[in-house]
Structure 1
Amino acid sequence: MTSDGLRLWTERFGDPTHSTVLLVMGTSAQAIGWPDELIERLVHSGRQVIRFDHRDTGYSDCVDFTAHPYTLADMAADTLAVLDGYGVDRAHVVGVSLGGAIGQWLAVHHPQRVQTLTAIMTSPIGNNPGPAWARAMAGQPADPDELPPPAPRFLQHVMASAQAPRTTPEQRIDADLQTWRVLNGDVLPFDEPAARKFVERSHQRARNPAAASNHDLAGRQFTPDRLAPLSSITAPALVIHGTEDPIFALPHAESLAAQIPSARSHVIKGMGHNLFSPGLPERIADLIVDSTATR
């Protein structure tokens, strides 16, 4: 597939005549971050499933961000290009983290393309987390009028990780694996073999591993289109969130669900900010199946 001249790697599963579930991954993560167990469950339920590598990740093309900066809207345009490439007019859009923000953007600005929206481990697109992060990193108290900053343990990990050596493939893999371990939290068990397999495959597939950090730069650009009211979303919506998410505490999901008129919420006790826990992919797949069953 191509989007604005960029080649995007895509993969399709299931019967093309079935309704489409489009899986949109999060910041800096490749499409293979969607577990096979989740995809198999969706296909077995009678869904066509499409996943793709964002620009700057995996087998998709990379961008010189300094020369050609992009925004959330551009990443949403890539998502539409994937649907267009497969000839899909409307899809059940399922996004995790940044992918959930992209899903919101599509549901607001291209409602005719979004059959249902499932937003997992994410925050309202109109929320600018920058100030809350900055105060937390500086050791200052949170502003009670803002959505909460990340958990102290995660922020400590971010600062420590920035100083950790990453000169060998083994060091880079170990550092990424530690990040996923922190994101998982301590309540649900962490499936380290699955996480390691994902990290190792991601390093093997990446055209330019450093390019994935451009997603953070894109996410920080608060353009006016992100301030469009979520109350305009007409697609049935499901907000899935965990009680132990170290990046977006539960109030982020509560705020998102409150702003979307049709939204239902499902809170998973103990879930953090990844899918690397035994049984979790199947559990989320079942929620998606139920949410899209009669739409």
Structure 2
Amino acid sequence: MTSRAAVNGIEIAYETFGRPGDRPLLLIMGLGSQMILWDEELCEMFAARGHHVVRFDNRDVGLSTHLDGTPVPDLAAVAAGTAAPPYTLEDMAEDAAGLIDALGWDSAHVVGASMGGMIAQVLAIAHPGKVRTLTSIMSTTGPNVGQPTEAAMGALMRPPVQDREAAVESALAVWSVIGSPGYPMDPEKIARTAALAYDRAYDPAGSTRQLLAIFAAEDRTQALGRLSIPALVIHGEADPLVQLSGGKATAEAIPGARLITFPGMGHDLPRPLWERIVDEVSALTAAA
């Protein structure tokens, strides 16, 4: 069941798994991706390991507030610093902080994937008291490391589609480029998820606004170096969208962080790795 919370001047849609008394676990998804990319089975696995799990739609995707009508400046201008994005990763981190408060949690174990990892890092920097542990998956410290391959960037910048069928075809094309070469792709699952995402809310302009927030972000290395919370960094060794240097830089920046890399893992969460990922995150949260 989807719930909604008024936070930071917008509305955030979220769903929960597990028992309210268990360890609070906040899952933050990446660029243009709705909370349904945190697979229900994966969420239930976290819940079975003693977590009260919350997944949510970031602003501008899914059932959360879309900033319709907000001007979208030129990507190159934002990247060059000559234009400001409609909002920043800091604003998105404040959304997450507000959701933690709205849930009645004093703090949470935070797991972010891709752009969600960036948001999780910013959340920990801005609100260290709200983050019990930090897990950054397939993410990076900023624009200087983890740059995408040309093919991955091409997949990311595919033009908007016009209908549901085209959205499914586009998703299959994108995941064939950025997905895990060491694990079999599941076209049927990708198609189902893409169709559901299209039905929930298809908004390419919202995804572009999120991308502008990434383009405008500064390097977080020094700020991450001031953290004093338990941290885990997970990265695929075959990730073409955020290459492995991004994960290595994140682990090097956070004092005491543990780095786990998986051969054959690209820019997704392959089903055969779920148990190991749940084990590692659960060990971190249980020990904190």
Match of 1:5 in 2: 9
Please give the TM-score of this superposition, normalised by the length of structure 1: 0.86
Aligned equivalent of 1:285? 278
Contact persistence 1:30–1:202 (CA under 8 A): yes
- What CA distance in whole angstroms lies between the structure 2 residues aligned with 1:156 and 1:25? 21
For 1:148 and 1:55, locate their aligned partners in 2 and report how far apart those are by CA, in whole Å: 24
Secondary structure at the aligned position of 2:225 is classed as: helix
Task: Report 1:51-200 matches (<5 A).
Answer: 51-63=55-67, 64-66=69-71, 69-124=86-141, 127-128=142-143, 146-147=144-145, 149-158=147-156, 161-162=158-159, 166-200=161-195
For residues 122 and 161 of structure 2, the distance between their equivalents in structure 1, rounded to whole angstroms, comes to 35
Q: CA deviation at 1:203?
A: 0.5
169-178 or 147-156: bigger deviation: 147-156
Which residue of the partner structure matches residue 269 of structure 1?
Answer: 263
CA distance in 1, matches of 2:145, 2:103: 38
- Deviation of 1:184 after TM superposition, in Å, equals 0.7
Which amino acid letter does the alignment assign opposite residue 45 of structure 2?
R
Which one of 213, 217, 224 corresponds to residue 212 of structure 2?
A: 217
Match for residue 134 of structure 1?
A: none
How far apart are the structure 2 equivalents of 1:207 and 1:237? Answer: 34
The separation in 2 between residues aligned to 1:13 and 1:268, in whole angstroms, is 27
The residue type equivalent to 1:237 in the other structure is A
Distance 1:174 1:60, change over 3 A: same
Quick one: which amino acid aligns to residue 240 of structure 2? P
After the TM superposition, which parts of structure 1 deviate over 6 Å for at least 4 consecutive aligned residues?
A: none
Which runs of 5 or more residues in structure 2 are unaligned?
73-84
* TM-score, scaled to structure 2: 0.88
Cα root mean square deviation, aligned? 2.0
The 8 Å contact of residues 39 and 285 in structure 1, kept in 2 or not, is answered as no
Amino acid at match of 1:199: A
Given candidates 230, 242, 258, the residue that maps to 1:248 is 242
Cα distance 1:285–1:194, how it changes in 2: closer, same or farther (>3 A)?
A: farther
**In the alignment, residue 258 of structure 2 is paired with which amino acid?**
R
1:12-41 Cα offsets, whole Å, 9 max, x none, are: 111111110100000110011101221111
Cα displacement string for residues 150-170 of structure 1 (whole angstroms, at most 9, x for unaligned residues): 2233234456x34xx833321
Q: CA deviation at 1:274?
A: 1.0
User: 2 CA distance for matches of 1:194 and 1:100?
Assistant: 24
Stretch deviating more after TM superposition (237-246 or 202-211): 202-211
2:254 maps to: 260
Tell me: CA distance 1:228–1:251, structure 2 relative to 1, closer, same or farther (3 Å). closer
Secondary structure at 1:216 match in 2: helix
Give the Å deviation of 1:207.
6.1
2:183 alignment partner, SS class: coil
| % same residue | 37
Q: Is the 8 A contact 1:9 1:53 kept in 2?
A: yes
Render the CA deviation track for 1:23-61: whole Å, top value 9, x for unaligned.
Answer: 000011001110122111111111100111011000111
Aligned positions, number? 271
Name stretches of at least 5 consecutive residues in structure 1 with no aligned partner: 129-145
- Asked whether the equivalents of residues 243 and 250 of structure 1 are also in contact (C-alpha less than 8 Å), the reply is yes
- Whole-Å separation in 2 of the counterparts to 1:156 and 1:74: 27
| Contact preservation (8 Å) 1:37, 1:282 | no
